[in-house]
Structure 1
């Protein structure tokens, strides 16, 4: 499956602000809900985890490498984090880098992994980290 990142909107036809049922219909997967951290319940759609606000609308997606997500022809879910960081700095010179990867607030995503490879792409709504 290949989807396009639309910053602060979503990936492909999976949009920020959708309900569990809407996402389930698009992916044709019935998710399992689990507690990711204390009081934070997330839906596991196998290929991605979906986070919600108090109104049960999606606010973020944690996407795993089984889904290819592209932005300007750059594959954000495959490859080495260091290579993606170097390429992406041409689009966003203000990326925030840490020991696990990087965040682009300009385009609304994080790329992370415990190794050199991308383990997940976290796409979030505008203001997600300002809460």
Structure 2
């Protein structure tokens, strides 16, 4: 069977897919252990998952929360809910006011939070 050209062609065609699947299983295993991962592993996982709003300089617990909620944020991306989820991950509380709720310019929003740590550079 090893010498059969059809079997060899089938194996050659499927091999890259099996390697990709193995890589995806590794990511899933890392997601299950996100609470035990260190900073560098969290940074790598966020890169693999394309967590665009991830900050490598954030506190380790914030990083873990961002990764845990990444799939949910992607599912609702482009909605106020997704923005509020990221705000909550970073600042513990907050809400989005859309432009028509506060009389702003179309397609803009503002973030309201009671977190006193959000001052200066963070508020920009």
Flag the structure with larger Rg: 2
Structure with a larger share of its residues in strand: 1
TM, length-normalised to structure 2: 0.27
TM, length-normalised to structure 1: 0.26
Structure with a larger share of its residues in helix: 2
Task: Specify which structure has the bigger relative contact order, considering alpha-carbon pairs within 8 angstroms and separated by 6 or more residues.
Answer: 1
